[in-house]
Structure 1
Amino acid sequence: MKRSVQLLLALTAALTLAACSTTKPEEEQVDTSAQDAAAQAEAEALARQRAAEEAERQRIAALLENNVVYFDFDDDSIRSEYVELLEAHAKYIQSSGKSVVLEGHADERGTPEYNLALGERRAKSVAQLMRTYGVSDSSIEVISFGEEAPANPAHNEEAWQENRRVEIKYQ
C-alpha cells in the first residue's frame, strides 16, 4: 500500500511538472511562426510606404527648386512639360500661405510694347493655371518686364530661348 501511494505521488509530481513545462505544443509554435511572418510582412509594408512617401517628398522638392517656365517664340501657352511643376508650386503656395510674383519676360525680337504685352500674357497664363489648382487671386501678382531684363544678353536663338520665360518668385 505504501508503495502504491508513493507511486501515485511520483506519478502526480511527474504530471504536474509536465503540465508546467515551457515547451509549447506544436499548434502554438505554428501560431507564433504565423504571427512572426505577419508582423514581418506588416513591417515591410510600412517600410515600403515610408520609402514611397520620402521619394514623393524628394520629387516635390526637386520640382519646387525649378522656378522658371519657358515659352516658345511669340507664344503664351504653357508647355505640357511644365504642368506638373506649376501644380507643385500651386500646392506649395496653398499649404505655406505665401504669395507669389509671376514675372513675365520676352526676347528682344519685336517692339518693346509688344514684348511687354507678351510677357504679361505669359505671366497671366501661369497665373490662370495656378488658379485652376486652387491658388487664390490674392496670392498672385503678375508683372511684365518684356525684353528689359534678359536672362542671357546674347543675340542668338539660345539666348532668346532663355529670355522667353516666366519666373516664379515667392514673397
Structure 2
Amino acid sequence: MKRIALLSPRSTGSRLVLCFATALLIGLVGCASTEEKKDDASTGSEFSDAGATNVVEETDITEINEWIDVPPVYFDFDQSSIRPDAVDTLRTGATALKATGARIVIAGNTDNRGSEEYNLALGERRAASVQRYLENLGVPSDQMTIVSYGELRPAAQGNTPAAWALNRRADFTLAD
C-alpha cells in the first residue's frame, strides 16, 4: 500500500520542484505572444485569434514559497483546537493558497505519549482542524489533503516537555 509521499519544505526535492515550477511559470509568461491574421492557401480560409484572449496569470511564487517555509502550527497537549499564536500564520497561508491555487498536504503530528492508535486519531483531528480553519478563510477544500502521522514523524527526539511541545504540530507541504 503506497503512502502519500511528502517533501520536507527544506529538502532538496522540494526545492527542485519549486525551482521547476518557477522556471515553467517564467517560461510561460516570457513566451506569451499573439498570433497575427494568417491566410491558409490550401483551404482559402482565414484564421484570426482576434476573438481569443491570451491571458497568462502570474502566480506570486514568493507568496507560496514563504507560506511553505513558515513554522508549523503547534497544539496544546491532547488538543486539536487552533491556538491564538497560529492565527497570523494561517491567515498568511490562506492568502497565498487563494492567490496561487497551490495544493498542499496538512500533516497532523503528536508527541509520543498515548497509544499509536490514539495518536493517529489525534493527528487527524489536528490536521482537520487546520483544514477547517483555512476553509473558513476562503481556501477551497480541494486544494488541501490531510494526513496523520501521529507520533511516527517527530520534529524533536526525547521525552522532555520541550520535545513533546515541538512534536504536537501540523506541518504543511506542497502536494505532489
Q: Which TM-score applies when normalising by structure 2?
A: 0.60
Q: Answer yes or no: is the 8 Å Cα contact 2:120–2:151 preserved in 1.
A: yes
Equivalent residue for 1:108, pick from 109, 112, 131:
112
- Is the 2:155–2:166 Cα contact (8 Å) retained in structure 1? yes
Residue 142 (structure 2) aligned to one of 138, 143, 155? 138
1:158 aligns with 2:152: no
Aligned equivalents of 1:138, 1:145: Cα separation in 2: 21
Flag as ranges the 4+ runs of structure 1 deviating above 4 A.
Answer: 60-64
The yes-or-no answer on 1:72 pairing with 2:73 is: no
The answer on whether the counterparts of 1:64 and 1:88 sit within 8 Å (CA) in structure 2 is no
Alignment of 1:8-47 (within 5 A): none
Deviation, 1:61, is 8.2
- 1:153 to partner: Cα distance: 1.5
SS at match of 1:95: helix
Gaps of 5+ in 2: 1-61
1:126 counterpart = 2:130: yes
Highest Rg: 1 or 2? 1
Cα distance in 2, alignment partners of residues 149 and 63 from structure 1:
21
1:135 shift after superposition: 0.7
- Structure 1: gaps spanning 5 or more residues: 1-57
RMSD: 2.1
Equivalent residue in structure 2 for 1:99, among 92, 99, 103 = 103
Give the equivalent residue in structure 1 for 2:174.
170
- Superposition TM-score, scaled by structure 1 size: 0.62
Matching residue's letter, 2:94: A
Q: Identical aligned pairs, as a percentage?
A: 39
Partner amino acid, structure 2, of 1:71: F
Counterpart of 2:80 in 1: which secondary structure? Answer: coil
**Shift of residue 62, structure 1, vs aligned partner:** 6.5
3-state DSSP of counterpart to 2:99: helix
Q: Which residue of 1 aligns with 2:87?
A: 83
- Name the structure where helix makes up a greater proportion of residues: 1
Measured in 2, the distance between the counterparts of 1:169 and 1:65 equals 9
Number of equivalent positions? 114
